[in-house]
Structure 1
Amino acid sequence: MFVRMPGPDALKRLAMDVSRRFLDDGCTNHAAALTYTTLFAIVPMLTVTYSMLSAIPSFQGTGERIQEFVFAYFMPSAGEAVSNWLSEFSRQARNLTVLGMAFLLVTALMMLRTIDVAINRIFRATARRRPVTSFLLYWAILTLGPLLLGLGFVTTSYITTMKMLADAYAMIGAERWFLRVLPFLLSTAAFTLLYMAVPNRRVRLKYAVIGGLVTAFLFEVAKGGFTLFLSMSPTYEFIYGAFAAVPIFLVWVYLSWLLVLLGAVIVHSLACVQPVGNGLSLPPGLAILAILSVFVQRFAKGKPAGLIHVHAAGWKLGQDTWDACTEWLLKEKLICTTSRGGMMLAQLPSSIETAALLERFPWPLPSRTMLEQVRGDQWPPWFARLLERLSEVQREQAAILSGDLEMLFRGEASESDGQKS
């Protein structure tokens, strides 16, 4: 399932791509917006979690344990004070009227919507979910998320209290190791699920797992560094006194969202820079024709096409190239989106004139040098014929424009001399 370990050059290229995308996608602004939204949504989210878990007798008291776990693992200092405040706020929120609970629910949905928009922008997901689909996704997160967390905690507690396993753990000293590794595994699974479910496009599992692992590891590093910084520089406590937990909490929430968005950028960059196939990379003017060939083949079967089908056909195209080409094809109404979010050819192949299509391309046709670089036996017959025809066009163009600049401007110079005389 996992990719081969890349070399130093590939890692350097990936790091540069991640840093560029992180800045270009405005991740710092998205993290600030998510921090602001978190202030309003965290109490509603806790209230929904408590309500869902308290409805099941087996999960009684699990909500408090989940909150303690989250703040102990993700909040490095001042977490106890903030946790107590939020617990008190959520207990008061459970006494609200129906209208008040509806407002809290809308606030929680707004936070999920903000996360959805930020991550889909990172993944260049141009097609938007239908409102009903988005609502069902958010509702599933709000309802199934707490239940799955509660189930995980109950299962873990049951396993660790079994006498046979407890004796085995004590014998090999694995209980402490298990309790240390479990939070890391749970956070990795949560980040992986986030990067798989939220983007409105197909994300390969191996990339999502890598992104989840990296994000969970960065959380561990950031937590240790943040705790060390606070212990060595107690400025917040000196200035704010008893309220020092509030700015510390805000800074940590902002840093946490930065790491979550960085993980999303890593997942998307892995899909973009991951080489596919054995041939050379294609320039956009040829890549879009390769994509169209896959759309035509899938159209004949009455099925949509995706990047996975382009890869299956042997074309070495990254996510960025696919995004740019399909965005233009959608704009020109050559392809269309299906009701399930896929894409299909929107016109009969026989109704699309090749020469007119090439003139509409936003990318120039490849030069003779580029054509020589991509020439080879690995291409399908139609592509080899296309390369030959494009080479003929380049030769005819070179013949028509043959000569030097003196010959090119000679007529204009003679005409100017005639006008002066």
Structure 2
Amino acid sequence: MAHLNFTEQRQAAAAGLKLLLRISLREFNEGGLKFRAMSLVYTSLLALAPLLAVSFSILKAFGVHNQIQALLTELLAPLRGNAQEVTDKIITFVDNIQVGVLGFVGFLTLFYTAVSLLEQVEECFNHIWRVAKPRSLYRRFSDYLSVIMIGPVLLFSGLGIAASMTSTALVQRLIALEPFGTVYYLAGLILPYVLMIAAFTFVYAFIPNTPVKLRPALIGGVCAGLVWKATGFIFAVFIVDSAQYSAIYSGFAVILVAMIWLYLSWLILLLGGVMTFYIQFPHYLSYASRSPRLSIRSQEQLGLLLMHLIGRQYLQGGAACTLQSLSETINMPWEPVAALLACLQQHGLVVVIDGDTKTYRPAHDTDTILLRDIIRAIRSDGDQPALQATDSLQALFSELDGSIGAVLQERNLRELVSAKIAALPTTPT
């Protein structure tokens, strides 16, 4: 029995790994992650120096600016011997930027260049999370300002406090004793992984313009952080230590290798965001394509179901239905739900009472909303070109359209919600 359970667990793990690989490849190709990672490399090269300059100026006021070089060295560690060289060049370039003499307009330009990187990252994560609307201008200003100005201060202050505590006489005596010495050594080995996982988790929970649960963000952060560390080791062994790049590209080899590592880092970050999304919304895994395409029959059924849920909440006096609550209730991705709601809104069947949270209620009293109008609204949505057909076909088209009224007659939404409607007759297939 134990052997059977182990075999089943191994098969389930293999199936899960295969599914994850398939989803990652689909997002890499169909989702365009490879091109978005490339665009982030380009944006990073433009915004890295301004971002570090703004952060460096703020950190200097708090006296913790010396920690930034150690962090850059850690992030560029997979470059091996070139890591210190690249770090020194970046720090030298940042030191040469005299923020104090830029003036107000120059500082705003510098700040906007730094913020543009965060905007690009948010756009990539919104694409992963199927969010069409970015942050408002006010939220972008407040959220990005807190990340750029407060985040580095808290991070480097914590690192500085931790470093200063280890230099005290009491801590040194504790380290000399066992098992405190072993614990301190292990903590030093684990701390870089913990910081990297915490950074990835923060990005997954904060950057998308949609609520992200902590558990999926943490799982995505753990996986992405460990993959980033493992990829860095492999990258250092097979790429950086290879003499072919130096022989071919000579002095440009350092720049090329740094850009490749930057691309891989962004790609790992985005793929971790994909994993976080699918952990929070596992029903997306059952669809063959990234954006599910419903049949006409499924759209009609979904339209009736949405009107039923919205009408029921309205009649019971409960909280109005939101796009997210409707999607979770029917276990359906919100793209087709949002498309159906937009169709129903366009035909005057539902109204939006809160544009920010996408809250819906019936546009009229449920007695006046006929079920046949719901079906006709869905069938008539989109372009309706004049088709050139024979008289017999036109008569057939009219007969099909009339069958809706013949079946549904005067049945309305209140009857459907109140469960007083009789079962609809089935038609042979």
What is the TM-score normalised by the length of structure 1?
Answer: 0.75
Quick one: distance in 2 between partners of 1:177 and 1:25?
Answer: 40
In structure 2, the residue matched to 1:338 is 354
1:42 aligns with 2:58: no
**SS of residue matched to 2:236:** helix
Q: Aligned partners of 1:337, 1:26: CA distance in 2, in Å? A: 34
Query: What residue identity is the alignment partner of 2:279?
Result: L
Give 1:295 deviation, angstroms.
4.2
Partner of 2:245: 236
Query: How many Å separate the matches in 2 of 1:69 and 1:107?
Result: 24
In structure 1, what is the Cα distance between the partners aligned to 2:271 and 2:168? 40
Deviation (angstroms), 1:386: 9.7
Identity of aligned residues (%): 21
1:121 alignment partner AA: H
1:13 equivalent to 2:19? Answer yes
- Give the structure 2 partner of residue 202 of structure 1: 211
- What is the CA–CA distance in structure 1 between the aligned matches of 2:263 and 2:111, rounded to whole Å? 23
**2-structure distance, mates of 1:209, 1:120:** 18
Distance change >3 Å, CA 183–CA 349, structure 1 → 2: farther
In the TM superposition, what are the counterparts of 1:243-254 in structure 2 within 5 Å?
243-254=252-263
Q: Look up the match of 1:416.
A: none
Per the alignment, residue 347 of structure 1 pairs with 363
The yes-or-no answer on 1:79 pairing with 2:102 is no
> Match for 1:223: what amino acid?
G
- Unaligned 5+ residue runs, structure 1? 277-281, 364-380, 402-421
Partner residue in 1 for 2:335: 323
CA deviations over 1:158-178 (Å, ceiling 9, x no partner): 443354444444422122221
Letter in 1 for 2:88: N
In the alignment, which residue of structure 1 is the partner of 2:233? 224
Corresponding residue SS for 2:133: coil
SS of the residue corresponding to residue 345 of structure 1 reads strand
Can you list the C-alpha shifts for 1:126-158, whole angstroms capped at 9, x where unaligned? 233222222222222211221121232123224
Q: 1:285 to 1:383 in 2, by over 3 A?
A: farther
| TM-score normalised per structure 2 | 0.74
- In structure 2, the CA distance between the partners of 1:357 and 1:67, relative to structure 1 (3 Å rule), is same
Segment of structure 1 superposing worse, 290-299 or 102-111: 290-299
The match for 1:191 is: 200
- Tell me the residue number matched to 1:415: none
Secondary structure of 1:78's aligned partner: helix
User: Aligned to 2:39, which of 33, 38, 53?
Assistant: 33
CA distance change for structure 1 residues 180 and 306 in 2, over 3 Å: closer, same or farther? farther
Q: How far did residue 117 of structure 1 move?
A: 1.0
Q: Distance in 1 between matches of 2:421 and 2:36?
A: 44
Which residue number corresponds to residue 361 of structure 1?
Answer: 378
- The C-alpha deviation readout for 1:242-268, integer Å capped at 9, x for no partner, is 442111111111111111111111111
Unaligned runs of 5+ in 2: 1-8, 286-296, 381-414
Residue among 94, 104, 127 paired with 2:98? 94
Matched residue SS, 1:126? coil
CA 1:77–1:332: 2 relative to 1, 3 Å: farther
Count of residues paired in the alignment: 364
Kept in 1: contact 2:80–2:240 (CA 8 A): no
Letter matched to residue 13 of structure 1: L
Which deviates more from structure 2 when the two are superposed, residues 8-17 or residues 47-56? 8-17
Indicate if the aligned counterparts of 1:52 and 1:143 stay in contact, CA closer than 8 A: yes
Report how far residue 30 of structure 1 moved. Answer: 0.5
Give the stretch that moved more between structures: 24-33 or 59-68: 59-68
AA in 1 matched with 2:126: N
Aligned to 1:61: 66
In the alignment, does 2:321 pair up with 1:307? no
Partner residue, 1:417? none
Aligned to 2:383: none
1:373-421 alpha-carbon deviations (Å, 9 max, x no partner): xxxxxxxx978959973xx33x2x22xx8xxxxxxxxxxxxxxxxxxxx
CA contact (8 A) 1:291 1:310 kept: no
SS in 1 for 2:331: coil
Q: 1:90 to 1:317 in 2, by over 3 A?
A: same
Deviates more, 1:186-195 or 1:87-96: 87-96
- Distance 1:341-1:141 versus aligned 2 partners, 3 A rule: farther
157-166 or 261-270, which deviates more: 157-166
Cα distance in 1, alignment partners of residues 49 and 303 from structure 2: 48
Equivalent pair of 1:196/1:203 in contact (CA under 8 Å): yes
**Aligned position for 2:389:** none
* Partner SS, residue 344 of structure 1: strand
SS of 2:360's equivalent in the other structure is strand
3-state secondary structure, aligned to 2:363: coil
Matched residue, 1:262: 271
Shift in Å, 1:123: 0.7
- Rounded to whole Å, the distance in 1 between the matches of 2:365 and 2:11 is 40
Are the counterparts in 2 of residues 93 and 101 from structure 1 also a CA contact under 8 Å? no
Of structures 1 and 2, the one with the larger relative CO (CA 8 A, separation 6+) is 1
Shift of 1:20: 1.4
Matching residue of 2:126: 120
Change (3 A) 1:207 1:285: farther
| 3-state secondary structure, aligned to 2:267 | helix
CA RMSD of aligned residues (A): 3.5
| More moved, 123-132 vs 154-163 | 154-163
Aligned-partner Cα distance in 2 for 1:386–1:179: 68
Question: What's the CA shift for 1:13?
Answer: 3.3
How far the C-alpha of 1:78 sits from its partner, in A, is: 1.7
